[in-house]
Amino acid sequence: MKITVAICCLNSEAVLPQTLTTLRANTPKDIEIIVIDDGSSDNTAKIAATHGTLVISHDKNLGYAKARQSALENCSSEILAFIDDSCLVSDDWFIRLEKLWSVAPDSTKIIAGLMEIYHPQSYLQKFQSRHNPFLPLPESFSRSNGLFAKILAYLKGKRLINAALIASFSNGNVSLRADAIREIGGYDPRYSIGAEDEDLASRTISHFGKSAIYFDPAVVVNHVSDPSLKSFIKRSYKYGRSAALRFRLEGGFPTIMPIPAVLIAVVAIALALQNYLVALSSILAVPLLYVARSSSAKYLIPDGYLLFLTEIAHLSGFATSIGRHKKIALREMSSL
């Protein structure tokens, strides 16, 4: 079974060399690697070419979904695997992936693997390792946009699971049957700023059934995480923006994050009433509100405040994007 690996890039010259070197070292020599240069202004395309990849360059930045769609359109293999530009495959990543696909039933259309933080050193990197944002949602969570499903997903949070069916995945370590994904229209180009993976998962399950997406944590790639606080906040803000886009396109209920919303309201009311003791007590109680998601009592206080900051950034991204009234075009029926 032939597998093509694709990497979507935008100004990736700082991270791409290590990603491609590691990929070449741990995959067959004749493997096809596609690099989608989505409008970079640096040397991304030149670096990709020196590593013997097929480079597809966009004249301008078209966004996540169109970049992945370009990879799908240029894939000649039965299986198309995606990794991110800052991800390093493990030594046995390809071997395990190849074996999984060789025994996968026809009902399996997508296989996702685990993304881990690469050698976490700073506190922020270790925090992300404890609260991995790249974990999949179990199949039991459903991708429903209903209020109950949203609240349940928030309260449970993401947890590392054993090999099982899932409801969503991260595009940083996923492989798919190319023809099956083409059958459902591929990636929706309207998802230019993210959530294209959630949309694809939802449509795949809707079309092929709940057994269509499988997760195996033994298929590992390591995400080289930026240790800066700015990058940490920016990532959460970006997730909020993509959540707003998905809400605008699909409706239902928006992202549910009651803890920061309620806390901000309580503090605002307390300050308005000049009850500074209640306001201060509410702020100090933040970590206790995240007890269920704390991986260890040792990290309860700092992790609680970081989770709060993560959700504030997410809600900020959601709020700034949901207020944009630019009309989103309907997807052409010919591509469905």
42-78 pLDDT tens trace:
999 999 999 999 999 999 999 999 999 999 999 999 9
Place of tokens 């009651």: 258
pLDDT at 218: 96
Task: Tell which of 190, 208, 225 closes a domain.
Answer: 225
24 located within any domain: yes
Return the closest-CA partner of residue 13 out of 102, 92, 86, 95.
Answer: 86
pLDDT at 333: 32
Segment 238-252 mean pLDDT: 87
> From CA 240, how far away is CA 291, in angstroms rounded?
23
Token pair for 130? 């404890």
**What is the number of other CB atoms lying within 10 angstroms of the CB of residue 88?**
23
84 located within any domain: yes
pLDDT value at 139 more than 70: yes
258 located within any domain: yes
pLDDT value at 153 more than 80: no
Q: How large is the C-alpha radius of gyration of the chain?
A: 21
Answer whether 157's CB lies under 8 Å from 293's CB: yes
Please tell me whether residues 205 and 104 are part of one structural domain.
yes
> From CA 45, how far away is CA 13, in angstroms rounded?
9
326 located within any domain: no
Please tell me whether residues 154 and 197 are part of one structural domain.
yes
User: In the predicted model, what is the mean pLDDT of the chain?
Assistant: 89
171-194 pLDDT tens trace:
899 999 999 999 999 999 999 999
329 located within any domain: no
For residue 100, the enclosing domain spans 3-225
Please tell me whether residues 262 and 137 are part of one structural domain.
no
Query: Across-strand partners of 18?
Result: none
12-38 pLDDT tens trace:
999 999 999 999 999 999 999 999 999
* Total domains, the chain: 2
Please tell me whether residues 243 and 279 are part of one structural domain.
yes
189 located within any domain: yes
Query: Across-strand partners of 113?
Result: 216
Run of H or E residues at 173: strand 173-177
Please tell me whether residues 139 and 26 are part of one structural domain.
yes
Please tell me whether residues 92 and 216 are part of one structural domain.
yes
> From CA 153, how far away is CA 286, in angstroms rounded?
20
Domain with 26 in it: what CATH number? 3.90.550.10
**Collapsing DSSP states into helix, strand and coil, what is residue 172?**
coil
* Least confident stretch, 19-33, 75-89, 135-149: 135-149
Please tell me whether residues 196 and 244 are part of one structural domain.
no
Amino acid found at 190: R
Please tell me whether residues 218 and 232 are part of one structural domain.
no
In the structure, what pLDDT confidence band is assigned to residue 106 with cuts at 50, 70 and 90?
Answer: very high
pLDDT at 138: 79
Amino acid found at 144: S
Please tell me whether residues 177 and 280 are part of one structural domain.
no
Please tell me whether residues 23 and 172 are part of one structural domain.
yes
Run of H or E residues at 98: helix 93-103
Task: Tell which of 205, 225, 245 closes a domain.
Answer: 225
Please tell me whether residues 82 and 170 are part of one structural domain.
yes
243 located within any domain: yes
pLDDT at 332: 46
**Collapsing DSSP states into helix, strand and coil, what is residue 311?**
helix
pLDDT at 314: 92
Beta-carbon contacts of 268 under 8 Å, excluding residues fewer than 6 positions away, are: none
181 located within any domain: yes
Please tell me whether residues 67 and 172 are part of one structural domain.
yes
pLDDT value at 324 more than 70: no
Task: Tell which of 181, 200, 225 closes a domain.
Answer: 225
Cα separations in angstroms, 193 against 61, 174, 202, 234:
11, 19, 17, 13
> From CA 116, how far away is CA 161, in angstroms rounded?
13
Segment 282-299 mean pLDDT: 80
Cα separations in angstroms, 254 against 141, 237, 241:
16, 15, 12
Amino acid found at 147: L
Return the closest-CA partner of residue 100 out of 238, 220, 237, 224.
Answer: 220
Cα separations in angstroms, 210 against 142, 175, 206, 250:
9, 17, 8, 20
